[in-house]
């Protein structure tokens, strides 16, 4: 698992955790797990930004596999390194066939 895939898991866990829960009386109450998951996702994103040496707002998900990587700003790409390499490989194979 890459760091980007780990961050994707943390963010997915946060986005799929319900914001509120029902108590025994049926009243809606804030879900403590939501705050925990939000903190974990935020810290994961900050860890990745530090790992890549880029500002936090340049981190974003890959359009193909949704792993987090350097997406925005100078040197940012829509595809992560693995998907970019796979896409280049497909293009090269297509070019070889056509030539
Ligand atoms: Zn990717």
Could you read off the pLDDT of 44-80 as tens digits, one per residue?
999 999 999 999 999 999 999 999 999 999 999 999 9
Residues spanned by the domain of 66: 3-98
Distance in Å, CA 82 to ligand 1 centroid: 6
Is the predicted pLDDT of residue 16 greater than 70, yes or no?
Answer: yes
Angle between helix 32-52 and helix 3-15 axes, rounded to 10 deg: 160
**Structural domains in the chain (count):** 1
Distance in Å, CA 48 to ligand 1 centroid: 15
Distance in Å, CA 77 to ligand 1 centroid: 10
Q: What is the C-alpha R_g of the chain?
A: 19
| pLDDT of amino acid 97 | 78
51-90 core/surface letters (b: 16 or more CB in 10 A; e: else): ebebeeebbbbbeebbbbbbbeeeeeeebbebbeeeeeee
Distance in Å, CA 72 to ligand 1 centroid: 14
SS3 81: helix
Distance in Å, CA 26 to ligand 1 centroid: 42
Q: What is the pTM of this model?
A: 0.84
């Amino acid at each position: 698992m890459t760091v980007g895939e780990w961050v994707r898991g943390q963010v997915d866990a946060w986005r799929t955790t319900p914001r509120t829960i029902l108590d025994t009386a049926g009243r809606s109450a804030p879900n403590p797990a939501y705050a925990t998951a939000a903190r974990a996702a935020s810290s994961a994103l900050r860890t990745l930004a530090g790992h890549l040496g880029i500002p936090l707002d340049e981190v974003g998900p890959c359009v193909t596999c949704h792993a987090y990587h350097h997406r925005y700003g100078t040197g940012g790409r829509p595809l992560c390194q693995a998907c970019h390499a796979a896409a280049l490989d497909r293009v090269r194979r297509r070019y070889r066939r056509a030539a």
